[in-house]
Amino acid sequence: MNQTQLEIAGRTITMETGRVAGQASGAVTVRSGDTMLLVTAVMAATPREGIDFFPLTCDYEEKLYAAGKIPGGFIRREGRPSEQAILNSRLIDRPIRPLFPKDFRNDVQVIATVLSVDQDADPATLAIFGASTALSISPIPFQGPIGAVRMGVLDDQIVVNPSVNKLGESKLDLVVAGTRDAIIMVEAGAKEVPESTIVEALRIAQAEIARQCDAQEAFRREVGKPKVDVPEAPKDAEADSAVEQYLSERLDQALFNPNKALRESALDDLKKETIAELGPRFPDRLPALSRSFEARVKARVRQKIVDEGMRPDGRKTTEIRPISCEVGILPRTHGSALFTRGQTQALSIVTLGSIGDKQKLDGLGLEEFKRFMHHYNFPPFSVGEARPLRSPGRREIGHGALAERALLPVVPTEEEFPYTIRLVTEILSSNGSTSMASVCGSSLAMMDAGVPIKGQVAGIAMGLIKAEDNKVAVLSDIQGIEDALGDMDFKVAGTRTGVTAMQMDMKIKGIGVEVLASAIEQARQGRLFIMDKMDAAIAQPRTVMSQYAPRMITVQIHPDKIREVIGPGGKMIRKIIEDSGVASIDIEDDGRVIIGSVNGESAAKAEQIIRDLTGEVEVGKNYKGKVVRIMPFGAFVQIMPNQDGLVHISQLAEDRVERVEDAVQVGDEIDVKVTEVDRQGRVNLSRKAVLQEAKGITNGDWIVTERDRGGPPRSPGGGGFNRDRGGDRGPRRDYAGRGRENRN
């Protein structure tokens, strides 16, 4: 067993190998605090035949025992990975994928298993660090190592690896991964953070990553195994020369076309012509001709951009494709928008639901529910393909989460807007930057739905071409061919104030912070241009919501009254929903009762029922009540659910009443005034006071006073008697018939 330690941001990271998982090609346990992961890397013995890509698989395994939880569901075991686990799997994959030999075709699988988590140290960055370490000490031809840190901004100070508990307070949640000298991956969510702050955070992150790389190199020298050799694919100079000569006069005409479909069709036809023409000369080397054609297309695109500043669709490097924004295009949805940028088109739809529609999260994090969701769909017709429909894959989940992160900082709080918000973006046409189109479309759709968001959010995808002489071209608003043949896909979203989300992936071994800073500034200019187009369509949230959207009414009750609204086994709340016709009633622990209904009358009826159930009796207030019981000394009247009061026989009418039955009967509805709530919570009522008020006799004309025997005076005059003008005199009894002398 071998072990080493590294200190990052005041926390000790421990790496250990040789104790467990001995049959893996490389295996390490990494620990920080009580967060501990096992990360393994395994390589297949032989290359996979007939493929032209590197078959890498990365999995992040959440085990709920790590947080002391038992999984939900019938089988009580982990099933499909959570959304966060899928996103963390992508975090591992993205920075290590560019660091393998170009011609390497052996299957490699990296698995990061979370064994223990303390909600202090971040398991995601530990998983990246562990994956790099496991690959570095294995015979797998990994060209690392890499490091990873999470950056935050707390109290306006940039912090390295803030605790998980503190991330909710941070203005920035930035994951950076890279080699000792370059950044390979960026993933960020931010609360409108200025670009300058992010650039400074990247510089600090790069220094910490270099220290992680040094520690891994030392560990590899101590325990690492020799790397396997990867032979380069043989080059066919003769075939390459023949293809280049044949394409010299033909390639540009097919390649440089603003229409994606026409360009791809022309390139396909040209490829067939090339192979048909040159095939007889190289009958045994048709695959080499195909590879030469693809290489020549890539080289020409990159050369044209770097040397001439001209892109395949004729744009300049900073130019953005034509933009169209439409809102309110679907009649029955709560909000909708169609965002088109070039040949990329996104339809975004908003659905508003009750607070009870929150999504329950079953994972290792602190968050248990979320009320804002964005889902992204990428149907095959969007790229002109016919293939079976499948459930969302890692790409769809990743793009949906990126847009959700970009939009979340402008979403109103639950107190400001008591709705659960679900956004769905359907990609109708794709030619690059669909995730950023979904950000723009979703921002427009929320404004169309009347969601009071704090401002418009726009997104843009940036690209990069790095030539062999290190000359660099940064591209705004990349399209599909520039993504496929370029070196970087860098997505930036934000408001006019600052950045809300970022995601960067590289196909080369990273870039420096200065180049990245230039791309961030170019993205800011592009984002503002796009936002101007969006504001022209709708600049502020609508003040009137769709007639089909539920209306939410919030009633605040005392938390002790919650049980009265719910009732035994939920009986009362179900009855309120049934009697009023509302869609939903949700109750929060702080006493907020949120009523959801499309019909205003139904919502008002439910609100009144709840207020009647939970309201406090107010002395001096009039109520309409129902006589529920008659006694010789008076009538009990129900003025609120579960709340009766006594109208003494002397208070049933203006004149003297000999028998209670002469004035009221059980079931009668009468108007009464609350004259007193005594120390035991008993309510005294007066019908006579209401009748006198109706005649214009105010409280200034008559006084109700009362005193229990042995108790303090309760009259304004302190005399111990009840008096009114012109009344008779007679004895009065309290509820239990005990003597309480009152004189009229």
3-state DSSP of 173-215: EEEEEECCCCEEEEEEEEEEECHHHHHHHHHHHHHHHHHHHHH
CB 353 within 8 A of CB 552: no
Residues 358 and 492 in one domain: yes
Tally of domains in the chain: 5
- From residue 391, alpha-carbon distances to 16, 77, 377, 397 in Å are 38, 21, 9, 10
The residue that leads in pLDDT, 358 or 110, is 110
CB 63 within 8 A of CB 112: no
Identify the CA nearest to 205 among candidates 156, 128, 135, 150: 150
Residue with tokens 């990553």: 209
Residues 295 and 433 in one domain: no
Residues 584 and 523 in one domain: no
CA 672 to chain centre: 52
55 φ/ψ angles, rounded to the nearest 5 degrees: -85, 80
Q: Rounded distance, CA 313 to CA 479, Å? A: 9
Q: Rounded distance, CA 522 to CA 529, Å? A: 11
Q: Rounded distance, CA 430 to CA 438, Å? A: 11
Q: Rounded distance, CA 472 to CA 464, Å? A: 7
pLDDT in tens, 473-501: 999 999 999 999 999 999 999 999 999 99
In a domain, 50, yes or no: yes
DSSP per residue over 220-238, as a string? HHHHPPPPPP-PPPPP-HH
Residues 332 and 242 in one domain: no
Residues 218 and 254 in one domain: no
Q: Rounded distance, CA 432 to CA 343, Å? A: 8
Which of 168, 200, 223 is the last residue in one of the domains? 223
- Check which CATH number belongs to the domain holding 285 and give it: 1.10.10
Q: How confident is the model at residue 612 (pLDDT cuts 50, 70, 90)?
A: confident
Amino acid making up residue 159 = V
Q: Residue 640: is its pLDDT beyond 50?
A: yes
353 φ/ψ angles, rounded to the nearest 5 degrees: -135, 180
- Please report which residue ranges of 284-350 form alpha helices under DSSP H: 286-308
In a domain, 228, yes or no: no
CB atoms within 10 A of CB 75: 8
- Check which CATH number belongs to the domain holding 439 and give it: 3.30.230.70
Q: How confident is the model at residue 469 (pLDDT cuts 50, 70, 90)?
A: confident
In a domain, 288, yes or no: yes
State the pLDDT at residue 697.
Answer: 67
| Domain interval for residue 110 | 2-223
In a domain, 505, yes or no: yes
pLDDT in tens, 646-683: 999 999 999 999 999 999 999 999 999 999 998 888 99
Supply the DSSP symbol for 616.
P
Residues 113 and 255 in one domain: no
Q: Residue 617: is its pLDDT beyond 90?
A: no
Give every strand in the sheet of 344-353, ordered side by side. 323-327, 335-341, 344-353, 420-429, 372-377
- Kindly report the pTM of this predicted structure: 0.82
Residue 531 host element (H or E): helix 513-537
In a domain, 546, yes or no: no
- Check which CATH number belongs to the domain holding 562 and give it: 3.30.1370.10
Label residues 596-612 b or e (16+ Cβ within 10 Å = b): bbeeeebbebbbebbee
Q: Rounded distance, CA 734 to CA 410, Å? A: 60
In a domain, 542, yes or no: no
pLDDT in tens, 361-394: 777 776 778 999 999 999 999 999 999 999 999 9
In a domain, 230, yes or no: no
Q: Rounded distance, CA 612 to CA 555, Å? A: 12
Q: CA end-to-end span of the chain, whole Å? A: 97
CB 175 within 8 A of CB 240: no
CB 610 within 8 A of CB 593: yes
In a domain, 231, yes or no: no
Q: How confident is the model at residue 699 (pLDDT cuts 50, 70, 90)?
A: low
Residues 631 and 594 in one domain: no
Residues 217 and 329 in one domain: no
- Check which CATH number belongs to the domain holding 721 and give it: 2.40.50.140
Which of 490, 512, 536 is the last residue in one of the domains? 536
Rounding to the nearest 10 degrees, give the CA dihedral for residues 670, 675, 680, 682. Answer: -10
Residues 498 and 569 in one domain: no
Q: Rounded distance, CA 633 to CA 666, Å? A: 15
Q: Residue 47: is its pLDDT beyond 70?
A: yes
Residues 277 and 419 in one domain: no
Mean pLDDT of the chain: 90
Identify the CA nearest to 534 among candidates 456, 461, 477, 442: 456
Q: Residue 701: is its pLDDT beyond 70?
A: no
Q: Rounded distance, CA 487 to CA 693, Å? A: 85
Residues 327 and 299 in one domain: no
Q: Residue 189 pairs with which residues in a beta bridge?
A: 173, 501
Which of 563, 596, 614 is the last residue in one of the domains? 614
CA 225 to chain centre: 42
Q: Residue 734: is its pLDDT beyond 50?
A: no
Residues 520 and 610 in one domain: no
